[in-house]
Amino acid sequence: MNIVAIYLPHNWAELTDRQLYYLYNLYSDNLSIVQIRTYCFFAWAKMQVLSQCGEHEYMVKHRGETFKMSSEMIADAVHALDWIDGYPRYPVRISHIGRHKALPRDFEGVPLRKYIYCDNLYQGYLATQKQELLNEMAEILYSAKNIKTNTAEKLSIFYWFASLKEMLAQQFPYFFQPADEVSTDDLLSQGAPLGKRLQDAMNATIRALTKGDITKEKEVLDMDTWRALAELDAQAREYEEMQRKYGK
């Protein structure tokens, strides 16, 4: 019986840029999740299927050694990658597109203006599915004007921002709580155009931070995203406490 030592990533955070490109390219090929797991298993374990040597058996090569694997063994092994079925629990992204370096994955130290701009584009993408909006996000996320992204890179941007928003919602639950109750269908069914609603939401956020003092707008937009969200979360918590204490 052959005993083969292989290493596989245990979660999204362990994936290299090369592995992320490979995974997102598989996603874009409309394969089943079982097929995607299987392709990733062999690629990341550095194993190669040489031939089929029976109805349910394959000759496989790993680091110069060849051995047989049954379909049942392969099916059991690929379950180690079940975690790729869902969103990353922590923001993950391709760290470089060409020579362009990505912003910090968790947006710590990133100016609030960049978060607001990306969030508007992200909400617009959810509502319209227009791919160019993801490319516009790339211009901000990689500090690269007129950058051109391929399908894998666009998927990386979508997964990055989706997981970022989920993490921020957990970190700042009072501020993000109302947004969790609004679905994409709700956004489309509300009367005003999406752009107008997003602009109103952005203006409300800025007003909350400036306390209505327009001279502080640039200062607020230049704030660290986490610092700004912490302040907004504290205001939302105080408001909720007042509502509970005094009623509407």
Q: Residue 163: which of 32, 28, 13 has the closest Cα?
A: 13
What amino acid occupies position 171? Q
Same domain, 27 and 123: no
* Domain total of the chain: 2
Q: Give the domain range for residue 39.
A: 12-85
Instruction: Check if the beta carbon of residue 194 is closer than 8 Å to that of residue 201.
Output: no
Q: Residue 158: which of 185, 184, 124 has the closest Cα?
A: 124
Instruction: Check if the beta carbon of residue 46 is closer than 8 Å to that of residue 63.
Output: yes
Instruction: Check if the beta carbon of residue 247 is closer than 8 Å to that of residue 137.
Output: no
Cα 11 to Cα 193: distance, rounded to the nearest angstrom: 39
Instruction: Check if the beta carbon of residue 233 is closer than 8 Å to that of residue 175.
Output: yes
Residue 95 CA: distances (Å) to CA of 14, 105, 110, 115? 13, 9, 15, 18
pLDDT at res. 183: 41
Same domain, 207 and 112: yes
Same domain, 110 and 190: yes
Same domain, 35 and 131: no
Same domain, 58 and 151: no
Q: Residue 108: which of 168, 157, 152 has the closest Cα?
A: 168
Residues whose CB falls within 8 Å of the CB of residue 102, separated by 6 or more in sequence, listed in order: 93, 94, 95, 96, 141, 142
Tokens 């990306």 locate to 118
Residues whose CB falls within 8 Å of the CB of residue 223, separated by 6 or more in sequence, listed in order: 111, 112, 209
Asked if residue 30 belongs to a domain, the reply is yes
Asked if residue 2 belongs to a domain, the reply is no
Instruction: Check if the beta carbon of residue 194 is closer than 8 Å to that of residue 127.
Output: yes
Domain end residue (candidates: 26, 57, 85): 85
What amino acid occupies position 207? R
* DSSP structure class, residue 13: G
Asked if residue 3 belongs to a domain, the reply is no
Q: Which residues are 68's β-sheet partners? A: 59
Asked if residue 1 belongs to a domain, the reply is no
Asked if residue 162 belongs to a domain, the reply is yes
Phi-psi domain of 158 (left: phi exceeds 0; alpha: psi -120 through 50; beta: other): alpha
Same domain, 24 and 46: yes
Residue 64 CA: distances (Å) to CA of 39, 42, 70, 71, 240? 20, 15, 19, 21, 64
Same domain, 31 and 123: no
Same domain, 184 and 236: yes
Asked if residue 90 belongs to a domain, the reply is no
Same domain, 77 and 114: no
Asked if residue 110 belongs to a domain, the reply is yes
* DSSP structure class, residue 193: -
pLDDT at res. 7: 87
Domain end residue (candidates: 36, 53, 85): 85
Same domain, 67 and 105: no
Asked if residue 4 belongs to a domain, the reply is no
Per-residue pLDDT of the chain (248 residues; tens, 9 = 90+): 566 778 899 999 999 999 999 999 999 998 999 999 999 999 999 999 899 887 888 888 988 888 888 889 889 989 999 999 888 889 999 999 999 999 999 999 999 999 999 998 999 999 899 999 999 999 999 999 999 999 999 999 999 999 999 999 999 888 887 443 444 344 334 444 555 665 666 667 777 776 766 667 787 888 999 998 998 888 878 777 777 777 65
Same domain, 116 and 179: yes
Domain end residue (candidates: 85, 104, 126): 85
Same domain, 157 and 189: yes
